[in-house]
Structure 1
Amino acid sequence: MHRNDRLALQRIDRLVGDRLPPALYRETVPLHIAAWEVPGEPVPFGDAVGQTYTPVSEGTAWGRPWGTVWFHVTGRVPASWRGIDGTRPEMVVDLGFDGSGPGFQAEALVFRPDGSIVKAVEPRNAFVPVDGDEIDLWIEAAGNPSVAGTFTFAATPLGDRRTAGDDPIYRLRRMELGLLDETVWELQQDIWTLRGLVDQLEPNRTRHARVLAALGRAVDAVDPDDVAGTAQAGRDELRAALSAPASASAHQLTAVGHAHIDSAWLWPIRETVRKVARTFSNVLDLMRTEDDFVFAASSAQQYAWMKEYYPELFERMRDAVAAGRFAPVGGMWVESDTNMPGSEALARQFVEGKRFFLEEFGIEPLEVWLPDSFGYSAALPQIITAAGSRWFLTQKISWNETNRMPHHTFLWEGIDGTRVFTHFPPVDTYNSELSAAELALAERQFAEKADASHSLVPFGWGDGGGGPTREMIAAARRTADLEGSPRVRLGSPAQFFSEAEAEYAEPPVWSGELYLEYHRGTYSAQARTKRGNRRSEHLLRAAELWATLDTVRTGATYPAERLRSLWQTVLLNQFHDILPGTSIAWVHQEAEATYARVADELQEIIDTAVRSLTGAGDRALTANAAPIALAGAPALGVSVAASVLPVTPERDGDGWTFRHERFHWAIDARGLVVGAVDLTTGRELIDPAFPGGVLQLFRDTPREWDAWNIDAEDGALGTTLTDVIEVVADGADLVVRRRFGSSHVEQRYRVDPFSGALEVEMHLDWRERQKMLKIAFPLRVRAERTESEIQFGHLSRSVHANTTWDAAKFETVAHRWIRIVEGDYGVAVANDSMYGHDVQRAPGTDGGARTVARVTLVRAPLFPDPEADQGAHEFRLSVLPSASVAAAIGEGLRLNLPPVTVHGADEVAPLLTVSEPGVIVEAVKLADDGSGDVVVRLYEALGSARTAQIEAGFPVAAVTQTDLLEREIEPTALRETTGTVRLDLAPFQLVTLRLAR
């Protein structure tokens, strides 16, 4: 930059930084302030106003961590302020804000005496409008701990109520009445827009020189001793520069008001409820003065909280939705993780989310809005379409640390071939200020600029930072048609997608998962939270099945509302900072307690239904809720318990052997698997020099984002744990006890008498820090690929690292199983609660004939929860040789949805019988509309077209195919409905059937 330009910019910045802010308010007057500290958890307005308040002044310390202080503020607008043109009174509040971002420190919500909400106060939105001459306001201030400096990833006690302390952490700086000078404020916005533009313009171009000169003239025109009297003169000098129109080829941005609010993260769920109220009240206040401003908010859960806790605010939201100003988007219950929720759970995110929006507003969002989740399942396009949605938006893939996504607007193709029109905003943020730098970045990065001209920019402070501000709206107005800038238009997501889709008729196609090359540690952090999720998903499946069967067979009342409430609880905990394990201690402590309550309630529903079905009696019966026969029990029914002899470990020299008719498993004196003979093929799958079942401890010190990330470099810094305390036989189990570091583990080996799979059950007391524990199975298999279970199917991934895209997938996600594939031979590794896996070619000189499959068990990050994963854990996994995909599915179901022994009088015939083992019934329930119809969700699971017949174990009047919301659609798979139901399924096709009774 030329020296003269640099000096000119210094003069401009000095005006903006030092001269204009003191002149923003022509006068200020103090207000009377009184305070009451809530002794425990937050209380509603009605409880707060009746308390005894103590006078306080500016400078008073307030707010213990996570505490709440109510301020009562009274005063009067001076008579001398009336009738002064270009001014208006407003209250100005500084709760003691610091340098951390908005949304990550103190916040407040302002009420009128009647309990109605005015708006919120945050660091970048610190004013409160004043109506009338009398000020009488109640302010609920939240002492949320500041995270200034926290993102250095140091352990902090503030995320746990037990260690957060009780001393005040804020000091009230300002709570007074000010007379806003509107002309000075407008001048600030003019200069901010043009000053930012200067930095984006080429220094030697005419436009750069003219804007810089105009800014210089504005500085000259504003008298530092009389800013109020000369601010308009400064604006006049900028008028021509602001009026110059954009070029005909300028990029077009649709600016959508937005405030991404994590449903929990560095704060608990209860604080999210208040963050949402603060943000939504700000938005409604902004809509009073900005007619074309549209705000988009996702997550039906957050709307439901407003309905429950802030009904007055919710009714105003309802009016804004009806007016098209407040746009529900996403159509999901929360912005969930999409890697780890099970098939039915991810479907229910859409069912519950869309149903709420339809019931409350009569609106069905068509945009799936997931800007911040940590990668996107290849099953999602089909689920989106099955839910009746059309478009998908995310931002997070811009965080890739290795490869840049080649597209911003494209068709995303899922595992079944479904394609969804998808947009990545090239602005690379979902919290834009609409700055010149952000707008220029969007145009510069837009990959499809040769064929398309349109992108979306979400703007507003997120996470309780207050959402869009009047300053951002001012920026949008000034860049609507400004030379040197992309054009900015305020609009809605639906408006953008409709126009972008029409403009770009043949976008490129991206097939398969949208893998985030970052945040891979989210598959494993907070293992107890993940276990709770997995258990809840399968209990929900069983509860719906048995309750449906009970209703159909006995006429029992179906517990629809209980099940819906439990589903919503589990769906909330699948939010993308809860299930991934990336929240503070408070959040995960609460999640674990919630999962325990959910399990108890679901077990009670299951027990009640099964007792009703079987009747009173002492016969030993087996109830199998799985969609395939397990342990000798038919699918989806109750049968006489099968009798089978266990496979017991036999002493064999220094070790032990399990002898099954299909496989022999050898375990040595160290408790390691040194032999795995597949008797069906004669193959030995274990080289004794590279035993299986071995625990490996790795350093886990990522460069940043502790709970989120695993670095590839740490994968080379592992220690194999072979020291053993004892190996003893205990009935059908072989028990291995080890100690390492400050931790100890008990491994129990057993062989399933039906499948012959080797099962490893682990009881771990984990006391390490910044370490990661994996269990490894080196196999004498030359695998080119693995198959990993995802929602409604499975995904193939390369084992090699030929390209940067392959190499970046050094830790991947799977649900209940992975399958290591060599030609037509496969070995399945199944689990009951883990998600993180890695499969690699073994190093060495064996010609690549060895593949190491590892499952990540537990981690120990320090941030944001310094006690993450400490304590007791339980894991169960199994290894099954000669495993087809169908066998791998069965093994995953055996570990997660095992048949249970019950006692009763009668067997119970299956509710459904499916002729094809490759067709999996995912859910059986009664219809949401209360009709009593039975709804069955199923999918083709093996990846090839097939025909299946379904027979119902109850009289059926009619069969229709529906979408996920149980609305009838044109049949794509349903071919015959008289007598036996016939389905012709495409690979991985998801189908929902409604069976009228």
Structure 2
Amino acid sequence: MHNDRTITKARLKRVLDERIRPAVYPESVPLAVSVWNAPGEPVPVAEGLAAEGVPIRTGAQWGPPWGTSWFTVTGTVPREWAGRTVEALLDLGFDENMPGFQCEGLVYRPDGSPVKGLNPRNQWVRIGEKVVGGEEVVLHVEASSNPVILDYHPFLPTELGDRETADSAPRYRLGRMDLAVLDRTVWELVQDLEVLGELMAELSVEAPRRWEILRAVERALDAVDLQDVGGTAARARELLTSVLAAPAHASAHRISAVGHAHIDSAWLWPLRETVRKVARTTSNMTALLEDEPDFVYAMSQAQQFAWIKEHRPEVYARVKKAVAEGRFVPVGGMWVESDTNMPGSEALARQFVHGKRFFLEEFGIETEEVWLPDTFGYSAALPQLVKLSGAKWFLTQKISWSRSNKFPHHTFWWEGLDGTRVFTHFPPIDTYNSQLSGKEVAHAVRNFQEKGGATRSLAPTGWGDGGGGTTREMLARAKRLADLEGSARVVFEKPSVFFEKAHAEYEHAPVWVGELYLELHRATLTSQARTKQGNRRSEHLLREAELWAATAAVRAGFPYPYEALDRLWKTVLLHQFHDILPGTSIAWVHREAAATYAAVAAELESIIGEALAALAGDPLAVLAEDALATLRGDGPASGTVIFNAAPHGRGGVPALGAAAVGQRDRAAVRAEPREGGGFVLDNGLLRVEIDGRGLVVSVYDLAAERETVAPGAAANLLQLHPDFPNMWDAWDVDHFYRNTVTDLTDVEALELTDDGAVRVVRAFGASRVEQFLGLPDGERRLDIATEVDWHETEKFLKAAFPLDLHTDRVAAETQFGHLYRPTHTNTSWDAAKFEACAHRFVHLEEPGWGVAVVNDSTYGYDVTRAVRDGGTGTTTTLRLSLLRAPRFPDPRTDQGVHRFRYALVPNASLGDAVREGHRINLPERRVVGAGAGGVEPLVSVSGDSVVVSAVKLADDGSGDVVVRLYEALGGRARVRVAAGFAVGAGAVCDLLERPVGAVDADDIALSFRPFEIVTLRLTRA
């Protein structure tokens, strides 16, 4: 019997490949083809349609990297084909094994109306269901010759990732360009045999059903005349009727298939190409919806809808019509499928604000499911944001990529940082690009971990990453699997229908608490440092711009820049997409991102300057310190300038020098040579010893009489590791990188500057680093400004702080709070977190005394423990991840000059960590003009644990003031909010500024749960 099974499987494959599939199109005639190659970047559709091409033959080369060619295909349907189904087969030179990663096309009619997209698994265009014969065919194809960046090996450096460095050689050869008769019966036979063959392969040898299918397939193959497949296909299908009609078992798992095309908003292609990928895919899907009444398609990312609305209105009109009909379903509720580790608090909230609002305004749809299949880990802040946005459900898939531990659930309640829970599904099919193959469906059934409690799962179905979407073959599989013995039941339905059913049957699902940490792609916290710095600085400038513009609007009638702020937020949110901010896109994407961030910074600085000028009554000056304290979490400022922002260099990067390390009053900070070499800095609160190597060997807290640096160790130690992961260069760092390390201790220069800071210069490899270390007057903080001229490859640079602390956990800032991660490796789950994310601070503490390390632009960190001399007690080493140098997909990742600021803060509470984290990211004051005058905060908050994350005017243009606050320390809080203007009415709102509860306008008292977010809307009297 085993031999029979093997023989039948081999026979089925060969007959399908060599006889039956070729017979799907039994007759064909060639089309005439001409081509016009657009110069440079893509041209408008009208220009492409009007261009006059030159003839081109099949087999001819075309398409330099990132080029656009407009093909025109013409022909006449033979009259002898009357009454038959005819399709155009348009092969641009596709490799069917790489859908989404190579050339693609969008077909237009001569009048400019879109027909459908072309990609490697979707090369047909319907000409007529029952042609009359003699029809003239004229089609235009906008074809993009996107180069294959992966090239079957995702680790080879390539210059193809930027138009500026790519060659101009043609990448493709034009394939078949024909009119052909579609034999629907043969096509259906192919689908029958594929589904049955795949199901047979997944059933156990002992299962009678497997052998029933095998014998039926044998009989069907016997009935096929290999020289007359079309004439015998119907009989072969009849012999399969009984096995295809056998119903599924009552207990069969249920799969809700959802048409989908996961389209990365940028990755191995630039942003401009994603606009066209979306147009191609949505054209395909709206056409498929017209042909298939049972099909449902879901699309996430409001940005992608907005792109086609702006750039391809003819495609958008079809999308909007399909949405109104209810089968093209907007999902996700976010502006893009964002990274969720690194975006700041407000930015992650605004992903929901702008995404949800777009769907409401465009379609009148309140999206209820958050759709994030491919993000590299999921912040513990998300459940609360999901609920505050008005959504109810969450979907992810990427956790199946974890390498150390298998996630224990597929349907569960996810409990976030503040205790909010969201009903969550993690599809057991383990792909967001499902084809509904027998192997995938069987895997979903075997893999599903809620058996006995739940009966259903979801399958995002369609070609993705580079787009493409669902095919008619996938729909054919679903129809056959709807009620088929031996298989799960498969039906296309809306995500909301799935979630309603899943929730109803499994309300008491298990609970997972905290972040969904991905045990893979940890290096995304460090790759492409410029992109990460641009994000951080843009976020803080946006919050400042809103604060000053709102203050100036209320106090001085300043015209609030609604349109500009909306546009700038959306620009920053777009660049938080999960292959841009994580640093995993081609060079073109990150080159453009750097220019975009510089432009964003310039425009926001202009808005801030204009608002301050309005407040000053130009040319008076504004000492804008008290209002900034609101954003820092200081409460009302005391009037003493503690820290002024470093002057900024090119692109908004802090300039280097003593100004960057808080050296303001040399008289208040003693600096003297150290015995044995080096220097000692003393400001009366801390005494810092820097040895002859330029390393910090002591940071002594004079008040607590306590040393910060671990015995025998040195802080601010730069360490260099080799960095060659097993896979995915820009994405991954593997644990074995720690096995080899070089401490950078050689020093070229060590001197005391005129401003009282210590300057250290080192050279290593082909790179150079310059640092300034300083103590600000009146503060327990060692400021460190670092400039690295980086020219290494496949290296990882860390800044180490060995601390004399015994602690089993660290607090790492995340959105709207912090979370604790272990310093030990007791379990495989603990050990897997060897690189993790922190925003502005990491805090370590023994009862009564702690240390914070704060930063202005880094995200990755690691923490380890060491045994003290003598084997009693432990110390803890915290390291900030500064730079990497992967070669794929950008072969010159991070080459050049980078500037970082970070600080060591001894004797720091969690509240100190919050304040210092804000401080290093914000200027202490802004001054306009030559005079002096103060600005009172627009709002102020009593108490130390509640932080204001935003002060702005309401998005609806009403002039109401919106204030978002959160409890930052993880405890209960009761505070009063004082408005610096007359308040007529107040309300607590959701993220979209819709009232959900009232507050007393005369006495705004708020109670907070740990890490609770509250949005206030205050109407001016």
Task: Give the TM-score range, shorter chain.
Answer: over 0.9
Within 2, Cα distance between the matches of 1:622 and 1:562?
A: 22
- 1:929 maps to 2:956: yes
Q: Which residue of 2 aligns with 1:196?
A: 198
- 1:128 maps to 2:125: yes
Q: Which residue of 1 aligns with 2:674?
A: 652
What pairs up with 1:271-670 in 2 under 5 angstroms? 271-617=273-619, 621-623=623-625, 626-628=628-630, 634=636, 645-646=665-666, 647=669, 649-653=671-675, 654-670=677-693
- 1:703 maps to 2:726: yes
Q: Which residue of 2 aligns with 1:735?
A: 759
Q: Which residue of 1 aligns with 2:21?
A: 21
What one-letter code is carried by the residue in structure 2 that aligns with 1:145? P
Within 2, Cα distance between the matches of 1:625 and 1:522?
A: 35
Alpha-carbon deviation of 1:4? 1.8
Q: Answer yes or no: is the 8 Å Cα contact 2:699–2:709 preserved in 1.
A: yes
Q: Answer yes or no: is the 8 Å Cα contact 1:766–1:870 preserved in 2.
A: yes
What pairs up with 1:835-850 in 2 under 5 angstroms? 835-842=859-866, 845=869, 846-850=871-875
In the superposition, relative to structure 1, how do residues 638 and 49 fare at CA in structure 2: closer, same or farther (>3 Å)? Answer: farther
What one-letter code is carried by the residue in structure 1 that aligns with 2:879? R
Alpha-carbon deviation of 1:620? 7.5
In the superposition, relative to structure 1, how do residues 127 and 844 fare at CA in structure 2: closer, same or farther (>3 Å)? Answer: farther
In the superposition, relative to structure 1, how do residues 111 and 165 fare at CA in structure 2: closer, same or farther (>3 Å)? Answer: same
What one-letter code is carried by the residue in structure 1 that aligns with 2:217? L
Q: Any idea what SS the aligned residue of 1:902 has?
A: coil
In the superposition, relative to structure 1, how do residues 631 and 89 fare at CA in structure 2: closer, same or farther (>3 Å)? Answer: closer
Q: Answer yes or no: is the 8 Å Cα contact 2:631–2:947 preserved in 1.
A: no
Q: Answer yes or no: is the 8 Å Cα contact 1:637–1:909 preserved in 2.
A: no
Q: 1:750 aligns with which of 744, 750, 774?
A: 774
Q: Any idea what SS the aligned residue of 2:239 has?
A: helix
Q: Which residue of 2 aligns with 1:989?
A: 1012
Within 1, Cα distance between the matches of 2:704 and 2:536?
A: 34
Deviations 1:598-620 (A, max 9, x none): 00000000011011112334657
Moved more, 862-871 or 460-469: 460-469
What pairs up with 1:208-223 in 2 under 5 angstroms? 208-223=210-225
Q: Answer yes or no: is the 8 Å Cα contact 1:100–1:147 preserved in 2.
A: no
Q: Any idea what SS the aligned residue of 2:242 has?
A: helix
In the superposition, relative to structure 1, how do residues 556 and 978 fare at CA in structure 2: closer, same or farther (>3 Å)? Answer: closer
Within 2, Cα distance between the matches of 1:797 and 1:856?
A: 17
Within 2, Cα distance between the matches of 1:369 and 1:740?
A: 45
Within 1, Cα distance between the matches of 2:963 and 2:179?
A: 62
Within 1, Cα distance between the matches of 2:549 and 2:822?
A: 42
- 1:953 maps to 2:980: yes
Q: Which residue of 2 aligns with 1:98?
A: 95
Within 2, Cα distance between the matches of 1:628 and 1:671?
A: 37
Deviations 1:841-885 (A, max 9, x none): 025654342110000000001111110111110100000011111
Q: Answer yes or no: is the 8 Å Cα contact 1:99–1:148 preserved in 2.
A: no
Within 2, Cα distance between the matches of 1:465 and 1:538?
A: 34
Would you say how many aligned residue pairs link Structure 1 and Structure 2? Answer: 990
Q: 1:899 aligns with which of 924, 933, 942?
A: 924
Q: 2:811 aligns with which of 770, 774, 787?
A: 787
In the superposition, relative to structure 1, how do residues 72 and 909 fare at CA in structure 2: closer, same or farther (>3 Å)? Answer: same
- 1:682 maps to 2:705: yes
In the superposition, relative to structure 1, how do residues 624 and 460 fare at CA in structure 2: closer, same or farther (>3 Å)? Answer: farther
Within 2, Cα distance between the matches of 1:395 and 1:735?
A: 48
What one-letter code is carried by the residue in structure 1 that aligns with 2:104? E
Deviations 1:49-99 (A, max 9, x none): 222311111111100000010001111111110124xxx101001111125
In the superposition, relative to structure 1, how do residues 865 and 640 fare at CA in structure 2: closer, same or farther (>3 Å)? Answer: closer
% identical aligned pairs: 54
Within 1, Cα distance between the matches of 2:940 and 2:397?
A: 43
- 1:81 maps to 2:81: yes
In the superposition, relative to structure 1, how do residues 754 and 318 fare at CA in structure 2: closer, same or farther (>3 Å)? Answer: farther
Within 2, Cα distance between the matches of 1:865 and 1:515?
A: 26
In the superposition, relative to structure 1, how do residues 23 and 843 fare at CA in structure 2: closer, same or farther (>3 Å)? Answer: farther
In the superposition, relative to structure 1, how do residues 754 and 272 fare at CA in structure 2: closer, same or farther (>3 Å)? Answer: farther
Q: Which residue of 2 aligns with 1:919?
A: 946
Q: 1:173 aligns with which of 158, 162, 175?
A: 175
- Runs ≥4 residues deviating over 6 A: 629-633, 636-644
Q: 2:847 aligns with which of 814, 818, 823?
A: 823
Q: Any idea what SS the aligned residue of 1:392 has?
A: strand
What one-letter code is carried by the residue in structure 1 that aligns with 2:261? A
In the superposition, relative to structure 1, how do residues 843 and 236 fare at CA in structure 2: closer, same or farther (>3 Å)? Answer: farther
Q: Answer yes or no: is the 8 Å Cα contact 2:776–2:783 preserved in 1.
A: yes
In the superposition, relative to structure 1, how do residues 501 and 684 fare at CA in structure 2: closer, same or farther (>3 Å)? Answer: same
Q: Answer yes or no: is the 8 Å Cα contact 1:624–1:630 preserved in 2.
A: no
Within 1, Cα distance between the matches of 2:600 and 2:484?
A: 56
Alpha-carbon deviation of 1:40? 0.4
Q: Answer yes or no: is the 8 Å Cα contact 1:925–1:935 preserved in 2.
A: yes
Within 1, Cα distance between the matches of 2:383 and 2:48?
A: 48
Q: Which residue of 2 aligns with 1:875?
A: 900
Q: Which residue of 1 aligns with 2:827?
A: 803
Q: Answer yes or no: is the 8 Å Cα contact 1:74–1:136 preserved in 2.
A: yes
In the superposition, relative to structure 1, how do residues 718 and 174 fare at CA in structure 2: closer, same or farther (>3 Å)? Answer: same
What one-letter code is carried by the residue in structure 2 that aligns with 1:898? P
Deviations 1:621-655 (A, max 9, x none): 34465445979994599999999624353223322
Gapped regions of structure 2 (runs ≥ 5)? 645-662
Q: Answer yes or no: is the 8 Å Cα contact 1:637–1:910 preserved in 2.
A: no
- 1:773 maps to 2:773: no
Q: Answer yes or no: is the 8 Å Cα contact 1:923–1:936 preserved in 2.
A: yes
Q: CA RMSD in A?
A: 1.8
Alpha-carbon deviation of 1:660? 1.7
In the superposition, relative to structure 1, how do residues 174 and 135 fare at CA in structure 2: closer, same or farther (>3 Å)? Answer: same
Within 2, Cα distance between the matches of 1:896 and 1:695?
A: 22
Q: Answer yes or no: is the 8 Å Cα contact 2:631–2:948 preserved in 1.
A: no
Q: Answer yes or no: is the 8 Å Cα contact 2:693–2:746 preserved in 1.
A: yes
What one-letter code is carried by the residue in structure 1 that aligns with 2:143? A
Q: Any idea what SS the aligned residue of 1:724 has?
A: coil
What one-letter code is carried by the residue in structure 2 that aligns with 1:32? A
Within 1, Cα distance between the matches of 2:922 and 2:2?
A: 71
In the superposition, relative to structure 1, how do residues 579 and 243 fare at CA in structure 2: closer, same or farther (>3 Å)? Answer: same
In the superposition, relative to structure 1, how do residues 644 and 746 fare at CA in structure 2: closer, same or farther (>3 Å)? Answer: closer
Q: Answer yes or no: is the 8 Å Cα contact 2:631–2:918 preserved in 1.
A: no
Q: Answer yes or no: is the 8 Å Cα contact 1:624–1:899 preserved in 2.
A: no
Gapped regions of structure 1 (runs ≥ 5)? none
In the superposition, relative to structure 1, how do residues 148 and 581 fare at CA in structure 2: closer, same or farther (>3 Å)? Answer: closer
Deviations 1:542-575 (A, max 9, x none): 0000000000001111000000000000000000
Q: Any idea what SS the aligned residue of 1:928 has?
A: coil
Alpha-carbon deviation of 1:146? 1.6
In the superposition, relative to structure 1, how do residues 623 and 608 fare at CA in structure 2: closer, same or farther (>3 Å)? Answer: farther
TM-score w.r.t. length of structure 1: 0.97
Q: Answer yes or no: is the 8 Å Cα contact 2:664–2:776 preserved in 1.
A: no
Alpha-carbon deviation of 1:230? 0.4
